[in-house]
Amino acid sequence: MARKSRKRTGDDRVSEYVDSPMMTQRLQYGRELTARIQGNYGTYRTRVLVGRASDGRCTCPSEVRPCKHVLALEATWQSHPDTFFELEEVLEELTDQSRAQLIEMIAQMALAAPESLVACGVEEFAFDDEIID
C-alpha cells in the first residue's frame, strides 16, 4: 500500500511556532512585539506591530514576507498576550536611575547584544534587512 505524503500548508508552518518553546524572549512595548524564534536554519529576531504583520521584520532567510515567524508572533500575541514581558514596567523603574547608572546599563546591554546599538544609530551592527529610522 502506497503511503500518502502530506504537504505542509502555510497554516501548518505557522502553527508549529505559535506559543511554542521555539519562541522565546517575548517582549511587548506599546503595539510593538518582538521575540527570538528558533527556526529551521538558526535563531531569528522577529518584530511586528500588532495588526501590521505585513510590515513585520524577521532575520530569517525566507524570501516570503511576512514570513511564518512574523505571522506566528502576531498569532501568539492574539492567543496568549500574557506570555509577553511588558517593557513599559522596566522603563518606568529606570526613571529613578542616575545618568551614570543608565550609561552603564546601556554598555552592559551592548556587550550582551551588540545589535542593540542600532537604537543609538550605530548602523554597523544592524541586521542586513533592518532599517535604521
Q: How far apart are CA 127 and CA 125, in angstroms?
A: 7
Residues linked to residue 110 through DSSP beta bridges, in sequence order? none
Residue 82 has phi, psi (to 5 degrees) of: -70, -5
> Where are the domains positioned within the chain?
10-86, 97-133
- Whether omega before 66 lies within 30 degrees of 0, making that bond cis, reads yes
Look at the block and give the residue holding cell 521555539. 22
pLDDT given for residue 112 in this prediction: 93
Per-residue pLDDT of the chain (133 residues; tens, 9 = 90+): 444 444 445 577 899 999 999 999 999 999 999 999 999 899 999 999 999 988 899 999 999 999 999 999 999 999 999 999 999 999 999 999 999 999 999 999 999 988 889 889 888 887 655 443 4
pTM of the model: 0.78
pLDDT given for residue 39 in this prediction: 93
pLDDT given for residue 126 in this prediction: 77
Answer whether 126's CB lies under 8 Å from 132's CB. yes
